[in-house]
Amino acid sequence: FWCGIELDKPHGKNDGSVGGVQYFSCLPRYGIFAPPSRVQRSKSSVSRHSWSHPSTATTEGLVKLHEGSQVLLTSSNEMGTIRYIGPTDFAPGIWLGLELRSAKGKNDGSVGEKRYFTCKQNHGVLVRPSRVTYRGISGAKLVDDIC
């Protein structure tokens, strides 16, 4: 496990990517990766970036996924923007409508006769929140259970 951290000042080594893989997004030189043993919560200021370990971190109400959030679709290692959060006609529960950066999707934001959002053809997917990560945290932990 590694923690991806966005710094307050440009003292880092990257923009949240390593080896061409984007794990999170920040300005160049504001990102670093560190083993969990070297990371601890800051006592002087708590922000949405102050997490102790991605696999056990709780959001404590500070971060929730929302339309416009940039997430990683873990199954295809593709970055996408959330364009829809909510129920669907085809299955129960909460779903995320993602607009992918590349044409590796399955639709244009509609499934069957229902339009959930709009994007270019083959840039859209609807997935469960557990299929995405936001700054190393499973999307399933970052949505409100509204259904």
CA 104, 85, 64: angle at the middle one, nearest 5?
105
The pLDDT, as a whole number, for residue 43 is 54
Equal fold, 3-38 vs 69-141: yes
Fold that domain 3-38 belongs to in CATH: SH3 type barrels. (2.30.30)
CA distance linking residue 96 with residue 74, whole number of Å: 13
- The mean pLDDT of 14-37, rounded to a whole number, is 84
Per-residue pLDDT reduced to its tens digit, 31-70:
888 877 777 766 544 444 433 334 333 444 456 788 888 9
State the average pLDDT for the chain. 81
Spell out the domain ranges in the chain.
3-38, 69-141
Contact present, 96 and 85 (Cβ < 8 Å): yes
CATH tag for 69-141 (out of 3.40.50.150, 1.10.357.10, 2.30.30.190, 2.60.40.10)? 2.30.30.190
Cα of 40 vs its chain's centroid, Å: 22
- pTM equals 0.58
Q: What pLDDT is attached to residue 52?
A: 36
Among the residue ranges 12-26, 39-53, 78-92, 122-136, the one predicted with the least confidence is: 39-53
Contacts within 8 Å (CB) and 24+ apart, 22-26: 22/72, 22/79, 23/72, 23/135, 23/136, 24/134, 24/135, 24/136, 25/70, 25/79
